[in-house]
Structure 1
C-alpha cells in the first residue's frame, strides 16, 4: 500500500513539474488532456514508465519507414487461398507463405482455418526467412492472437532467424493491444532491443502512441519536441483526444497548427469526434470542410452516423442516416451500411418475430458482404429464437414487399429528422412495428 502512495505522489509531482516548466510550450489541446489524466482509470500498464524508457533508447536521428502506415491499411480480401506452388523449395515456400498471410479471408471460415493450419505446416519446414516470418507475425498480430504470435517468435529463435526492428515493432503492437500484458513484458522488449543494438524508428513511436490508453499526450508532447512527423497518426491523435473529452474545436486547432488536418481519413475522425462530443455541430463541420476542402464523404462517413445512432439505441435513425448519406455522397458500396446495422442488431432485444424480420432485411440488403463470423452469429441467434429460420432459403414475396416498405418509409426527404414526433405518421408506425420491444 505504501508503494502505491509513493507512486501516486511521484506521478502527481512529475505531471505538475512538466506543467509548470513547459506550460508556455504545451498546446491547449494537450493541456486539456493533461488536466483530465487523473480522472482516467488505471490499467495494468505503467504507461509513463514505458514512455520514459522508449525515450532513452530513441535516437535523435529517426529513420523514416512505412511499416506503420502499411500495417494500418486493410489487407486485400480474397474468397479463396492461392494454390500451392508446383515445386516446393526455399524460394517458393517463402513466397507462398507470404501470399497466404498477406490477404484477408473474412468471408469464409473454411479459408481462415486452412490458412492457419497451412501456415503452421509451412513454418515447420524451417526454411522461412526474416521477411516471411515478419509477414506471418503481422498476420497474427493484426488478429491480436497472442498465443500464435508468441509461437512464431519462439520458432524464429529456434531457427536462428535474427529479428529486426519490424519484428519488435509488431511485438510492441501486440503487447500494448493485448489486455493482459504487464509493464515488465514491454520493458523486456526494450531490453532485448538494447542488447541487440536495435534503435527504434518512427514506426516504433507510432505503434506505441496508437496503443496507449491514458498517457498518450505525454508521448505526443515528446514527439513534438523531437519534431516527429505527425501526419501518419493524425486520425489516432483525434481518437485519443476525443477519448479524453477534448473539445472538437481544440482538436481541429491542433491539427491545423501542425498542418495535418486535410484528407478524408482525418475528416472522418473529426466527424466521429463531433458525434461523440458535440453531435449538434457535426453538420456545421461537414459543411465547412465541404466548402473549404471539397470534402465528399465515403462509406466510412455514413457508417459513423449509423454506429452512433445504433449505439444510442435508435437504430431506425441509424438506418435512415445511412440511406440519407448514401444518397448525399452517391455511395456505390452502400451494402456495408447494412453490415454495420446487422452487426449492431446482434445485441438488440426485440420479440423473436421482429428480430428475425430485421435480421433478414439487413442480411438481404448487405448482399454478399456479410463476414463469415457475423453470419454464423446471426444464424445461431436466429435459431435460438425460431428453430425454423433458414438464411439459406430464398426470401418470400411477403418479405420482399416488407423490405421495400422499410426502404421507402425510412428514406428521409430533404434534411435529417431525428425526432420521432417530427417524422411522418408512416415513419412513426414503421418504428413501432419493427424497432420497438413487443412480447
Structure 2
C-alpha cells in the first residue's frame, strides 16, 4: 500500500492535473499502472520525490535534442582500435580519445582493456575538452561502470575546471538511476548542482529519468503527456514499463495509438515482447495484424525475442525452433545472432557435462564469429569447470558435425510452430530428451 506521504503527493498531484486538463481524463493504461503500483514493492529510491523535483526545475519550453536517441543507438563495432596519432597535441589527443570512446570492441577483451587504460592516460594529460569528457563519460555510463564515471566527473571539476553541461548531467542521471546502490540523495544532489550552474533539463532529461524509473514511471509519463512532450523516442520504453506493470497488451496498444506512436519495427517488437510476456497465445494474431495493416516484416530482434522467451521458460529447444522458424519466415540474413542469444542463455543452464558442452559447441559453431569476447571467455571457463580436459578451440569432430546436422534438421518446423512437446515428431522428442532434458 502507499505510504501517507505518497498518497498525499498523489492526491494533490492528480487534483492539480485535473484542474489544468479540465475535463480530460487520465488514460486507462496509466490508471491501470497506478492500481498495480499500489500492490507492488517499493524501490530503494524515492521515485515520487525525484519526479516532483524534476518537474519543479523543468522549463515549460523544452529544448529539442538528440542525446537520448543517440545514447540508445548501438556503438559501431570495431575489431582493433586505431593507432595513436603521429603528432600528439591538444586537438589530436581530443580527437583520438573520442574515437576510442565512441566505438565498441566486444569481440576482444584485450582491445577493451587497452581502451580503458588508454582513456585513463589521455585524461591525465589535462587537455581534454567538454565534448571529449562527455564522450568518455558516455563510454563508462553505457557499461554502468560507476567508479570510472564518478572519477571522470571529479577530474572535470577538480583538475581541469571543465564546466559540465546538460549532456553531462543527463549521463549522470542515467548512471545514478541505473546503478542499484544509488541513494535518493545522490539524484537530488545532481538536481541541486544543475540549479547552481543554471542548467535546465531538456527533453533527454525527461527521457533518461522515465526510462530508468522502476515503480512510479507512470507519474512522469502523465506529466509528459500533459506537457505535450513528444513520446516517439520512448515508445518502446513505454511498452516495456506498462508490460512490467501487467497492463493488458490491447490497452498498451490503445495508448500508443492514441498518441500516434504505434508504428515502426522497434515498437512492434516491443509489443511482441509484451504479448509473449502477458498473452503468448495472442502473439501471432498481433503479428498477422501488423503484417496486414502495416506491412510488418520481422527482423533478427523479432526472432531473438522468441528465443529469449522460451529459454527463460526453460524450453530452449522451443527457443531454437522458433528462432529457425522465424529466420525462414522473415528471410533473415543474419540468423547467426539467434545462436549468440542461445549461447548466452545456455551459460546458466544446468545439464550433465557431456550434454552442456555438446550444446555449447553447437551454438558456438552456428554463431560463427559473432560471439562477443566476454561471452566466449565465460563459456570456455564454464566448460573447464565441467570437464578439465575440454578444449573449446579444437576443431569439430565428424560425430559433432553429424549431431549438428541432426539438430538443424529435426528442430526445423515444416509448417506452423508446434509449441507442445508431445505434439512434435518422435525424432524431435528423442533429441530433446537426449540433449536438453537430462539434468545434473
TM-score above 0.5, yes or no: yes
Provide the residue aligned with 2:69 in structure 1.
69
Q: CA deviation at 1:114?
A: 0.1
Deviation at 1:18, TM superposition (A): 4.7
Once the two structures are TM-superposed, the CA of residue 83 in structure 1 deviates from its matched residue by: 1.0
Which aligned pairs between 1:294-333 and structure 2 lie closer than 5 A? 294-333=295-334
Q: CA deviation at 1:428?
A: 0.6
C-alpha RMSD over aligned residues: 1.2
Alpha-carbon distance, 1:14 to partner: 3.0
Name the residue aligned to 1:9.
Answer: 4
Distance in 2 between residues matched to 1:382 and 1:407, nearest whole Å? 23
Cα shift readout 1:314-370 (whole Å, capped 9, x = no counterpart): 000000000000000000100010000001101111111101100000000000111
Quote the residue 1:25 is aligned against: 25
The aligned counterpart of 1:160 is 161
Corresponding residue number in structure 1 for 2:210: 209
Deviation at 1:13, TM superposition (A): 3.2
Q: State the distance in 2 between where 1:432 and 1:91 align.
A: 62
Distance in 1 (alpha carbons) for counterparts of 2:263 and 2:176: 31
Please name the residue that 2:45 is paired with. 45
Task: Trace 1:339-378 onto structure 2 (pairs within 5 A).
Answer: 339-378=340-379
Q: CA deviation at 1:15?
A: 2.6
Superposition misfits of 4+ residues, deviation over 6 angstroms: none
Q: Distance in 2 between matches of 1:290 and 1:303?
A: 18
1:89-128 map, 5 Å: 89-128=89-128
In the other structure, the counterpart of 1:223 is: 224
Work out the CA distance in 1 between the residues paired with 2:216 and 2:67.
23
Moved more, 318-327 or 17-26: 17-26
TM-score normalised by the chain length of structure 2: 0.97
Structure 1 residue 42: Cα displacement:
1.5
Q: For 1:66-87, what per-residue CA distance to the aligned partner results, in whole angstroms no more than 9, with x for missing partners? A: 0000000000011100111010
Aligned-partner Cα distance in 1 for 2:439–2:190? 54
> What residue in structure 1 maps to residue 437 of structure 2?
436
For 2:139, the equivalent position in structure 1 comes to 139
Greater Cα shift, 7-16 or 246-255: 7-16
CA distance in 1, matches of 2:207, 2:7: 26
Alignment partners' CA distance in 1, 2:13 and 2:162 = 42
Q: For residues 129 and 41 of structure 2, what CA distance do their matches in structure 1 show?
A: 42
| Partner secondary structure for residue 437 of structure 2 | coil
Distance 1:19 1:165, change over 3 A: closer
Tell me if 1:258 matches 2:253.
no
Deviations along 1:217-247, one digit per CA (max 9) or x if unpaired, are 0000000111100000000000000010000
Task: Give the Cα separation in 2 of the matches to 1:51 and 1:43.
Answer: 14
The equivalent of 1:191 in structure 2 is: 192
**Residue of structure 2 equivalent to 1:270:** 271
CA distance in structure 2 between the partners assigned to 1:285 and 1:93 by the alignment:
51
Contact 2:350 2:439 in 1 (8 A): no
- The one-character-per-residue Cα deviations of 1:42-84 (angstroms, maximum 9, x if unpaired) are 1221000000100111001000000000000000011100111
**In structure 1, how many angstroms separate the alpha carbons of the residues matched to 2:212 and 2:385?**
37
Structure 1: gaps of 5 or more residues: none
Aligned length: 434
SS at match of 2:161: coil
Q: Which residue of 1 aligns with 2:248?
A: 247
CA drift at 1:437: 1.6
What is the aligned partner in structure 1 of residue 78 from structure 2? Answer: 78
CA distance in 1 between counterparts of 2:370 and 2:5 reads: 52
Cα distance, 1:263 vs. partner?
Answer: 0.3
Separation in structure 1 between the aligned mates of residue 286 and residue 165 of structure 2, nearest angstrom: 43
Equivalent-residue separation in structure 1 for 2:56 and 2:5 (angstroms): 19
